[in-house]
Amino acid sequence: MTQTSTPPKTGRDSGSDSIVRDLIGRVTRLEIIVGAVIAVVMLALVILEPEILEAPFENVWTLLFTFGGTAVAAIAFVAMLRFRVPAVVRVAVLVVPFAIVNWWLISPYFVDEVVDEGFSASISEQLGTADDTPAAPAPSATPEVVEESTTSSAPPASEAPQPTEPVQEEPSASPPPTGPVLLGAGQFVGLAGHSGTGDAGLFENPDGSLVLRFENFDIQNGPDLEVYLVPGPDQTSLPEGSIHLGALKGNIGDQNYELPPGTELVPGAYTALVWCEAFSVEFVGATIVI
C-alpha cells in the first residue's frame, strides 16, 4: 500500500504565512470594534442615500481619490502593525482623517445650505413685463366721412387760406432705467448625474455693472462647489474665457453673484455653471442668451 505525502512548504511560503498570521494576531479588539462601527454607519448612510455609491464613479479623479485613498490607508495600517505601533495610535491615525474626509464628502448629501438674498429686480417679473407689452391699436377700417356744407360759398381770392408748414415733433428720449435690466435668462438642468432646478438671469445695473442671479434655485449639494459664467451654450467644462464668480453660497434659495468690475459681455450665449472644484466635475448649468 503506497502512501502519498504532501511536499513540504518552502521556506519562503512558510515565512510569508507566518508574517501574515503574526500581523493578523496583532489586531486588537479595539480596532475590530471600531471597524465594525464604521461599517455599520456607512451601511446606514448608503441605505438612507443610495446616491452615495455613485459618487466614487463620477470621473477618474473621484476613482483615484476613493480607491487610492483606501489603498494608502491599508498600507499605512499594515506598516503600523509591522512596527508595533500602539493600537490607540493606529486607530487615531486612521479614523480621524477618515472621519474628516467622509464628513466633507458625504455630509452635503444630508445637509442643505439655504440662502435668501434680495434683489431690486426679479427674473420672472421682467420676463413677464416683456411678454405683456400692449400691442398698438389697429387703425379704423371705416374712413370718416366729411359732410360738405351746401350753403358755403367760395371765399374771395384775397382771402384764400395760406398753406401752413407741418410742425415737426421732436422725438421724446426714453428715460434711463432706474433699476437693473434683465439681459437674458435660462433654466438650470442637472449634469453628470446630479439633479437641479431653478432660473438664472444676467442683469445690468444702471451703473453698468453686471450681476448673475439665481432664483428658485434647488440643486443636489456637494463638496467644493464654485460658480462660473462660461462662454457658449450648454457648457460642461471650463474653457478659456470662463469667469469665476466665487463659491456657491447655498444649494437652495435666491442668490446674487457680481461679475468683476469692468466686465463686458458680447452678445451671444453663456452658461451659468456650478462646478465641483475638488473633482473637476460639472453639477448644474443654465444657458443664457444676451
* pLDDT 10s digits, 219-248: 989 999 999 999 999 999 999 999 999 999
pLDDT for the residue 19: 87
Average pLDDT, integer, range 177-195: 92
Helices 69-82 and 11-25 cross at an angle (nearest 10°) of 100
pLDDT for the residue 201: 97
Residues in CB range of 283: below 8 A, 6 or more apart: 190, 191, 192, 194, 196, 219, 220, 222, 225, 274, 275, 276
CA pair distance 222, 190, nearest whole angstrom: 13
Residue 174 has pLDDT above 90, yes or no: no
Can you give the residue ranges of every domain in the chain? 13-109, 179-289
pLDDT for the residue 171: 53
Residue 78 has pLDDT above 90, yes or no: yes
End-to-end CA distance of the chain: 95
For the stretch 136-171, pLDDT in tens is 444 444 344 444 444 444 444 445 555 555 555 555
For the stretch 2-14, pLDDT in tens is 555 555 555 555 6
Look at the block and give the residue holding cell 453660497. 249
Residue 269 · residue 289 · CB < 8 Å: yes
Sign of the torsion formed by the C-alpha atoms of 256, 212, 187 and 192:
negative
For the stretch 29-47, pLDDT in tens is 999 999 999 999 999 999 9
